[in-house]
Amino acid sequence: MEQDKKLNRRSFLMKILIGASAILGLIALIPFVGAVIAPLIRKTPATWRTIGSIDDFEVGKTVLVKFKNSNPLPWSGLTSETASWLRRNSETEFDAFTVNCAHLGCPVRWEADAELFLCPCHGGVYNKDGSYAAGPPPHGLPKYKVRVRNKMVEIQTSPLPITNIGG
């Protein structure tokens, strides 16, 4: 009789331990499941942001422009701001490049004298048209879509992280 009580107590405690482990395992999976499902549920539309008058930008020059991302949340504050390298190629043609290296996302800087974008983190180099020049990046700088409407230059923002947004 004493032996049966021990076995019952032992099997009861084992069942509680297995159940608690299963519950903790499911709780640990919640962030992973959320990260996989959230992008499928929450689609953020691309938004056109006005960045300035066409007369503000000189042909052949590349400048840093700042604007709000496509989905600023009320609590996001300064993190809702992003930037782009904008190059005016002709009277009506512009290119807008991400400010982040295609390798690991470090911010690139524009070197006007050399007409190159340089990544200080791992030595990535891009030509003035955003194409790959040297270093570890797998491809050129991703581009934003740009348009001129009513003499205003607009960039089409998209949700972050930026992968290959066209252009």
pLDDT mean across residues, the chain:
83
Reported as a single tens digit per residue, the pLDDT across 19-46 is 999 999 999 988 888 777 776 676 666 7
123 within some domain: yes
Q: What are phi and psi of 103, to 5 degrees?
A: -80, -70
Give this prediction's pTM: 0.65
Examine the pLDDT at 100 and tell me if it is beyond 50.
yes
162 within some domain: no
Rounded Cα–Cα distance for residues 112 and 91 (Å): 20
| Diameter over CA atoms, the chain | 96
Cβ count near 99 (within 10 Å): 20
88 within some domain: yes
Same domain, 55 and 99: yes
Q: What is the mean pLDDT of residues 106-131?
A: 91
- Dihedral sign, Cα of residue 107, residue 153, residue 156, residue 129: negative
Q: What is the mean pLDDT of residues 82-105?
A: 89
Same domain, 93 and 38: no
Instruction: Report DSSP letters for 132-161, one per residue.
Output: EEESS-SS---EEEEEEETTEEEEEE-PSS
Q: Which domain holds residue 64?
A: 47-157
Q: How many domains does the chain have?
A: 2
Same domain, 24 and 78: no
Same domain, 34 and 56: no
Same domain, 56 and 35: no
